Structure 1
Amino acid sequence: MSLKVAVVTGANKGIGFAIVRGLCKRFDGAVYLTSRDEKRGRDAVAALENEGLHPKYHQLDITDPQSLKAFHDYIKEKYGHIDILVNNAAIYLENNATEPVAVKAEETLRVNYFSVLSTCEILFPLLRNGARVVNISSSYGHLSFIPSEKLRQKFQDPNLTVSELSDLMNQYIAAAKQGTQSKEWGNSPYAVSKVGLTALTKIHQRLLNDRDIKVNAVYPGYVNTDMSSHMGPLSIDEGAQAPLFLALDAPDSVKGEYVWFDKRIVSWAGQIPEENY
């Protein structure tokens, strides 16, 4: 059997870094730490090597189709396949009050939804039958963060297509530019982006069911990272536990789900659970 391959995006720090660390300890195959900034990525690899671990490195900017294509071609030529893909790269602009909501909306969705979609479109052809895809979502990815019942119904539509979902994301950006987003979409571009990612997870699962590929979204918990302004109570290694569970240990029956940091499968459209750390 050819060597297995795992890929983690946005992995030079935070939860992505800890996921690489966990994979290096347990995954029998090549583990790729990828990052937009090559120096930071190589420094992260060096830090893990100092722990006696052996990740591999490749530059990858998920917002750049050429970078995605170059990475696709490299993996295809060297291995021919991917067995685990962790879509971790994301941004959070909520606390930067200097930017108008229209700018936040467009940039947040560009990275957290549309660039992850591009990553999937370019890298999914490399997924081997039986592969696992883990999308790092958020508690804000719960459908209850969308105020409009009509919109929530659209997101839940079992026949929703990727193009229809992308249209919804663009409708939100247009509403934010007009200043009319609050009533139907709420006031958090980050929440809309992660609801979109969770919806995309469910669509991709439907499309990949016949290949035994598992696609799940996970809220890793409130983790002490730059993204949380270091307010979260969980360490990055604790935040990596649920993503690693989905990548390595979850039963094959767990697919197309929205999973929380304590490995519970949560109803995406039901009541949002309390966070008990």
Structure 2
Amino acid sequence: MPQVFAETDLQKSNQIFVVTGANRGIGYGIVEKLATQIENGIIYITSLKESDGKSAIESLTKSLGENKKSELRCHQLDITSAESCKKITTHLKECHGKIDVLINNAGVAFYLETIKTLDEKYEKGWHSMNVNYFGTKQITLNLLPLIKPGGRVVNICSQLGKLQHHNNLKYTLKLKNAKNYEEIEEVIDFYMGCLKEDTCTKNGFHESPYRLSKSAEIALTVLQKKLFKDKGIKFYAACPGYVNTAMTLFKGTLTIQEGADTPTWLATNENAPDGVLVFQRKIMEWY
């Protein structure tokens, strides 16, 4: 009798992965790991400039050599642009019909000590919200109709978004228990009003817009798990840790490969916990 081997989660063929902001940093590391684990898959590297995606493919193809098990492709994507999100959605639908996994890695951060004026803080605060929350929401809603039942959305969040970093019970509970997008965005609007008036501390918020944007992104993950449960799509919030990348001004204590481990695990492992914040493959309470 011939032997029968069970197909594992890391051996499924013909899977389509889309990784946003993947031409460098953690996104690059995620693609690198996926390319060595997924047999005969197709992994999309998206970047603001298509040329950056092409350069990433050249670099990975050279460094991985025979260890590369999946095809790498690139596509331009600005998650804050409705037109850009629509273009990649159309491309993926025409080329593949469906996709398996979306990994929302694209994000921005800035350091408060580099800000010189309140107006600059307010401007960069909105940029943080527009990329880390609204952009993540926009590309996810665009691609959701293409994600197969049993597919996944992995959001690269941060433990800096834990609600304990804020001291405003009314609005932190609103994030924790959000029943719709409007409730999350009500918190963002109130926070940005505080930021504009320089009253964040007075109103119980941390001064960093990045932290609030990541709180909102975790809340988005938890909410979408509830909203799309019937579609069989799972949503994951991954904290990569303090990684040595340009975003951390290369001060991080973890390597890109270490930072990419949990997001890749969430994207591929059948037993990975969904709808919660996960760091180093373990659930981390965010409230």
TM-score (norm: length of structure 1): 0.92
Tell me which residue corresponds to 2:147: 127
Q: How many residues align?
A: 266
Instruction: Tell me if the contact between 2:174 and 2:183 (Cα under 8 Å) persists in the aligned partners.
Output: no
Following TM superposition, the consecutive aligned residue runs of length 4 or more in structure 1 with deviations greater than 4 angstroms are none
Structure 2 distance, partners of 1:99, 1:178, is 12
Tell me how far 1:98 sits from its aligned partner.
Answer: 3.2
Give yes or no for the alignment of 1:176 onto 2:195.
yes
Give yes or no for the alignment of 1:3 onto 2:14.
yes
Q: Which moved more, 1:188-197 or 1:212-221?
A: 212-221
Tell me which residue corresponds to 1:228: 248
Instruction: Tell me if the contact between 2:93 and 2:146 (Cα under 8 Å) persists in the aligned partners.
Output: yes
**Which structure 1 residue ranges, 5 or more long, are not aligned?**
270-277
In the alignment, which of 32, 42, 48 is matched to residue 54 of structure 2?
A: 42
Give yes or no for the alignment of 1:25 onto 2:36.
yes
Tell me how far 1:74 sits from its aligned partner.
Answer: 0.2
Q: 1:99 to 1:49 in 2, by over 3 A?
A: farther
Tell me which residue corresponds to 2:4: none
Tell me which residue corresponds to 1:259: 278
Deviations 1:116-163 (A, max 9, x none): 111111111111100011100112111111221222211122x52112
Tell me how far 1:42 sits from its aligned partner.
Answer: 1.0
Deviations 1:171-229 (A, max 9, x none): 21122112222232220100000000000000000012122211011110111000111
Q: Please give the residue correspondences for 1:1-277 in structure 2 after superposition, counting only pairs within 5 Å.
A: 3-28=14-39, 29-50=41-62, 51-52=64-65, 53=68, 54-95=71-112, 96-98=114-116, 100=118, 101-157=121-177, 159-183=178-202, 184-251=204-271, 254-260=273-279, 262-269=280-287
Structure 1 distance, partners of 2:247, 2:285, is 25
Instruction: Tell me if the contact between 2:21 and 2:48 (Cα under 8 Å) persists in the aligned partners.
Output: yes
Deviations 1:57-108 (A, max 9, x none): 1111111111110000000011011211100000112253235321221111
Structure 2 distance, partners of 1:263, 1:185, is 28
Structure 2 distance, partners of 1:259, 1:67, is 30
Tell me how far 1:14 sits from its aligned partner.
Answer: 0.3
SS in 2 for 1:240: helix
Amino acid at match of 1:37: K
Structure 2 distance, partners of 1:180, 1:59, is 38
Instruction: Tell me if the contact between 1:3 and 1:79 (Cα under 8 Å) persists in the aligned partners.
Output: no
Q: Which moved more, 1:67-76 or 1:170-179?
A: 170-179
Amino acid at match of 1:86: I
Tell me which residue corresponds to 1:274: none
Tell me which residue corresponds to 1:272: none
Structure 2 distance, partners of 1:125, 1:27, is 23
Structure 1 distance, partners of 2:13, 2:29, is 26
Structure with max Cα Rg: 2
Identity of aligned residues (%): 36
SS in 2 for 1:56: strand
**Which structure 2 residue ranges, 5 or more long, are not aligned?**
1-11
Structure 2 distance, partners of 1:9, 1:89, is 5
Tell me how far 1:2 sits from its aligned partner.
Answer: 8.7
TM-score (norm: length of structure 2): 0.89
Tell me how far 1:11 sits from its aligned partner.
Answer: 0.5
Structure 1 distance, partners of 2:184, 2:221, is 11
User: RMSD in angstroms over aligned alpha carbons?
Assistant: 1.6
